[in-house]
């Protein structure tokens, strides 16, 4: 969470606490004011009653002749003043509780007003004074009763006790709210700290992440740092550890590597986890340049040992790519990119030590970037001068009326020359163009075959290689759409899968192959013998063909063990109902040997190299001979 948002929330909580405390203080002030007001009202009413009683006594003395008119008038004025002050200075009529008192006092004042002239001019024996005395007594009794009712006894104590209890409850609630708010603040603070840590560090290894690495590189350069070596290392085949031994073992290996790297951290060395199985080491400052590379050699050996101990099958390899920062030549971002390019080179070479970035690697990187952009454009257009399909015949010696062929990619680049098919597929897969490449292959295949006579197309079966991204759940539907309306029928199509694609996810592969068989498309297992596949996969995945890799065909006529292996694979495949194709047959002796072993189809330079569409058309004409010409004439 950004710092500004945290302070904003903190300000809101502080405002809430301030309002809460102000409300508590205001409530306490109002409670005390009401208490003081009630006390003053009771005292004022008592004083008023005393003055009225004094006037009543003075009136009685005057009637008996024991007081003078001046004394009576003085007491009358004092009583009048008390009543007037109570009514107008205190505002008693505004309080619901004091309303009966205010009414009684108002009646008393009205009484005095009616008898004002009598008090001033009457004689002691005047009957109006007797009437005033009686009415005054009656009104004073009413005041006394109202006073007792409102300022003494349970009617007064109970509300005060209730108010005290409510005040205590309010303070308890406010205290609880304050504690809850503090707890929320603490939780928020801890969560902000956690989020801040996760924003700059990896949760599994507790090492800084890629964001922290870039921040460190930029800060080092901004401070004028010049000498800097960046090393990226990656765990090759790490995924196989997760898949075979479980994610717990994989996580334990990552934590062990992180612990070793964490022990190296210091002023001259920064480490970070930049990917799922990728780490970075930045060496700066005090470590001399001539010591950095021996240090990396030693570290590579230590990390390799940790990886070997975690994986009993010793599949995990540590690859390292290193680059040097040169202020006048590149930026921190480019230095990290160069280290990544060196790391990819180490993976391709299967290097057992670190690989230093070089200009040739950068040229290769720029070449691939350029080729990926151009490949995208070629797949969207129809440039036959660069990207095309060539067809290598696959001959079935026992059925001369049919001919197979494998469609192979060919890219003749105007600057870089011939681009190997595996490089084309790798470029497409790395840049998200795999499915576009597959769609282009089927469009070009149908376009090439549209130039062939229909009688010739009917005798062909075409094989197409699939890359990893082409092999997905919607493949059967895409094949149906690609072949719809074209000369090639679904029964004439064979899709070739490598072992690595086929066995990557066995249930998914079974589902896709069932869909392909349902629409009549056959599937071949390509390059058999070069990966981890076994014959059990032929049964589990229901392949229609098995293509034995050329490495087992070369010199098969002189290597008895190789011939024994191919013969055994052929016999077992036939028992499973799977046809066998021998790839890479180049010499007559190899051709004779594979036929003797019982393979069903032969592919290789012995018959022809991959041919452009026109040349393949001519090959078909020669292969089928006059019989095809008669068929074409008969079909009109």
> Residue 533 above 60 pLDDT?
no
DSSP secondary structure string for all residues of 321-385:
EEEE--TTT--HHHHHHHHHHHHHHHHHHT-SS-EE--HHHHHHHHHHHHHHHHHHHHHHS--TT
Q: Which tokens hold the place of 284?
A: 């700066």
Annotated domain spans of the chain: 3-165, 210-357, 368-634
**pLDDT digits over 468-525, tens only?**
889 889 999 999 999 998 899 999 999 999 877 877 778 888 899 999 999 999 999 9
**pLDDT digit string (tens) for 141-180?**
877 777 776 666 565 556 666 667 776 777 777 778 778 8
Which single residue is written with the structure tokens 């393979």? 599
Residue 635 has pLDDT above 60, yes or no: no
Upper half-sphere CA count for residue 73 (Cβ side, 13 Å): 9
The share of the chain scoring above pLDDT 70, in percent, equals 85
Using the CB atoms, write b or e for 572-604: b if 16+ within 10 Å: ebeeeebbbbbbbbebeebbebbeebebbbbbb
Which of 109, 122, 106 has its CA nearest to residue 73? 122
Q: Where are the alpha helices (DSSP H) in 266-331?
A: 289-310
Kindly give, in sequence order, each residue whose CB lies less than 8 Å from that of residue 553, ignoring residues fewer than 6 positions away: 566, 582, 583, 584, 585, 590, 594, 604
Distance between CA 433 and CA 443 in Å, rounded?
Answer: 15
pLDDT of 631 > 60? The answer is no
> Is residue 437's pLDDT more than 60?
yes
What is the CA 350 to chain-centroid distance, rounded? Answer: 33
Q: Between 330 and 338, whose confidence is greater?
A: 338
Supply the pLDDT for residue 395: 94
> What percent of the residues of the chain are helix, what percent strand, and what percent coil, each to the nearest 5?
65, 15, 25
Q: Which two tokens stand for residue 310?
A: 């975690």
User: Which pLDDT score is estimated for 156?
Assistant: 56
The phi, psi pair for 405, rounded to 5°, reads -160, 145
Radius of gyration of the chain (CA): 51
Instruction: Give the pLDDT mean for 560-576.
Output: 90
User: CA-CA distance, 201 to 215, in Å (whole number)?
Assistant: 12
- The backbone torsions φ and ψ at residue 189, rounded to the nearest 5 degrees and listed phi first, read -65, -45
Kindly indicate the confidence band of residue 629, based on its pLDDT and cuts at 50, 70 and 90: low
Sheet-wide strand order for 228-236 = 269-273, 278-284, 228-236, 317-324, 355-356
The token duo for 137 is 């007594």
Q: How far is CA 235 from CA 246, 321, 334, 418, in A?
A: 16, 12, 22, 32
Q: Name the token pair of 610.
A: 């991959």
Q: What is the pLDDT of residue 634?
A: 47
The conformation of residue 152, written as its DSSP 8-state character, comes to S
Query: What is the pLDDT, as a whole number, of residue 268?
Result: 79
- The dotted CATH code for 368-634 is 3.20.20.450
pLDDT, mean of residues 577-597: 93
pLDDT in tens, 256-266: 999 988 888 87
d(CA 106, CA 83): 8
3-state secondary structure of 280: strand
Strand partners, 461: 404
Average pLDDT value for residue range 4-24:
69
Q: Is the pTM of this model over 0.75?
A: no
Look at 633 and 353; give whichever has higher pLDDT.
Answer: 353
Which distant-in-sequence residues (6+ apart) come within 8 Å of 294 by Cβ?
none
Domains 210-357 and 368-634 share a fold: no
pLDDT digits (tens, 9 = 90+) for 116-127: 887 777 787 778
Element (H, E) at 412: strand 403-413
What pLDDT sits at residue 91? 47
DSSP string across 176-216 = HHHHHHHHHHHHHHHHHHHHHHHHHB-TTT--B-HHHHHHH
Q: Where is 282: in which H helix or E strand? A: strand 278-284
- pLDDT of residue 450 exceeding 60: yes
Q: 359-380 and 332-349 helices cross at what angle (nearest 10)?
A: 80
Task: Answer whether residue 93 shows pLDDT above 50.
Answer: no
pLDDT for 308 equals: 86
Q: For position 580, what pLDDT does the model report?
A: 94
User: Can you tell me the distance from the alpha carbon of 495 to that of 466, in angstroms, rounded to the nearest whole number?
Assistant: 7
CA distance 464 to 356: 39
How many CB atoms sit inside 10 A of residue 564's CB?
Answer: 12
Distance CA 151, CA 160 (A): 11
Read off the pLDDT band of 272 (50, 70, 90): very high
Q: Is 94 a residue whose pLDDT tops 50?
A: no
**Domain range 210-357, CATH architecture:** 2-Layer Sandwich (3.30)
Share of the chain above pLDDT 90, in %: 27
Task: Give the model's pLDDT for residue 457.
Answer: 92
Q: Is the Cβ–Cβ distance between 314 and 308 less than 8 Å?
A: yes
Lowest mean pLDDT among 197-201, 247-251, 403-407, 529-533: 529-533
In a 3-state reduction of DSSP, which class is residue 109? helix
Query: d(Cα 499, Cα 521) in Å, to the nearest integer?
Result: 19
Residue 228 phi/psi, 5-degree rounding, is -155, 130
User: Collapsing DSSP states into helix, strand and coil, what is residue 573?
Assistant: helix
The token duo for 408 is 């192979």
Query: What does the pLDDT look like over 48-81, one tens digit per residue?
Result: 778 888 888 888 888 887 888 888 888 888 888 8
Where residue 201 falls (left for φ over 0; alpha for ψ -120 to 50; beta otherwise) is beta
What pLDDT does residue 406 have? Answer: 96
DSSP tag of 550: G
Compute the distance between CA of residue 508 and CA of residue 475 in angstroms, rounded to an integer. 12
Least confident residue range of 241-245, 320-324, 554-558: 241-245
Determine the pLDDT at residue 477: 94
- Mean pLDDT throughout 85-91? 66
C-alpha span between 273 and 251 (Å, rounded):
13
pLDDT at 442: 93
Q: What is the mean pLDDT of the chain?
A: 83
The C-alpha atoms of residue 137 and residue 256 are separated, in whole angstroms, by 101
Instruction: Give the C-alpha separation, 494 to 464, whole Å.
Output: 6
């Amino acid at each position: 969470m950004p710092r500004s948002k945290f302070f904003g929330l903190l300000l809101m909580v502080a405002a809430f606490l301030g309002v809460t405390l102000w409300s508590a203080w205001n409530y306490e002030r109002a409670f005390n004011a009401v208490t003081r007001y009630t006390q003053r009202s009771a005292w004022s009413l008592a004083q008023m009653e005393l003055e009225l009683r004094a006037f009543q006594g003075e009136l009685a003395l005057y009637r008996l002749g024991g007081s003078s008119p001046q004394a009576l008038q003085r007491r009358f004025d004092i009583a009048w003043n008390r009543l007037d002050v109570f009514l107008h200075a205190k505002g008693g009529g505004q309080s619901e509780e004091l309303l009966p008192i205010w009414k009684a006092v108002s009646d008393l004042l009205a009484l005095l007003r009616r008898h004002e002239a009598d008090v001033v001019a009457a004689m002691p024996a005047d009957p109006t004074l007797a009437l005033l005395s009686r009415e005054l007594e009656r009104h004073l009794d009413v005041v006394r009763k109202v006073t007792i009712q409102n300022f003494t006894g349970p009617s007064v104590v109970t509300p005060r006790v209730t108010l005290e209890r409510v005040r205590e409850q309010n303070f308890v609630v406010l205290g609880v709210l304050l504690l809850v708010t503090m707890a929320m603040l603490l939780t928020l603070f801890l969560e902000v700290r956690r989020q801040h840590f996760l924003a700059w560090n990896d949760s599994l290894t507790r090492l800084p992440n890629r964001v922290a690495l870039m921040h460190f590189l930029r800060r080092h350069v901004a401070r004028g740092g010049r000498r800097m070596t960046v090393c990226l290392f990656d765990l090759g085949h790490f995924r196989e550890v997760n898949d075979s031994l479980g994610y717990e073992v994989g996580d334990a290996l990552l934590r062990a590597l992180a612990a070793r790297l964490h022990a190296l951290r210091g002023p001259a060395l920064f480490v970070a986890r930049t990917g799922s199985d990728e780490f970075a080491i930045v060496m700066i400052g005090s470590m001399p340049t001539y010591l950095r590379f021996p240090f990396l050699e030693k570290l590579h050996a230590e990390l390799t040992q940790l990886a070997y101990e975690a994986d009993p099958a010793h599949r995990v390899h540590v690859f390292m790519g290193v680059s040097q920062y040169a202020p006048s030549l590149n930026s921190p971002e480019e230095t990290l990119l160069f280290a990544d390019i060196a790391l990819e080179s180490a993976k391709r070479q299967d290097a057992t030590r670190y690989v230093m970035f070089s200009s040739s690697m950068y040229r290769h990187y720029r070449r691939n970037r350029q080729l990926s952009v151009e490949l995208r454009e070629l797949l969207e257009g129809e440039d036959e001068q660069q990207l095309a399909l060539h067809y290598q015949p696959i001959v079935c010696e026992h059925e001369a009326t049919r001919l197979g062929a494998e469609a192979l990619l060919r890219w003749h680049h105007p600057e870089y020359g011939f681009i190997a098919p595996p490089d084309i597929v790798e470029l497409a897969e790395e840049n998200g163009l795999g499915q576009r490449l597959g769609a282009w292959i089927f469009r070009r295949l149908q376009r090439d075959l549209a130039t062939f006579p229909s009688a010739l197309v009917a005798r062909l079966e075409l094989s197409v290689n699939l890359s990893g991204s082409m092999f997905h759940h919607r493949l059967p539907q895409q094949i149906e759409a690609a072949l719809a309306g074209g000369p090639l029928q679904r029964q004439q199509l064979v899709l070739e899968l490598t072992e690595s694609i086929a066995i990557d996810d066995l249930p998914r592969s079974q589902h896709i192959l069932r869909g392909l068989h349902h629409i009549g498309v056959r599937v071949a297992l390509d390059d058999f013998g070069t990966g981890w596949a076994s014959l059990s996969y032929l049964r589990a995945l229901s392949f229609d063909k098995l293509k034995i890799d050329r490495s087992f065909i070369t010199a098969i006529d002189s290597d008895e063990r190789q011939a024994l292996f191919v013969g055994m694979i052929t016999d077992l495949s036939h028992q499973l109902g799977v046809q066998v194709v021998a790839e890479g047959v180049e010499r007559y002796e190899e051709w004779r040997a594979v036929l003797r072993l019982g393979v069903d189809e032969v592919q290789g330079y012995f018959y022809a190299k991959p041919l452009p569409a026109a040349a393949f058309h001519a090959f078909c004409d020669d292969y089928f001979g006059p019989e095809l010409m008669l068929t074409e004439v008969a079909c009109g």
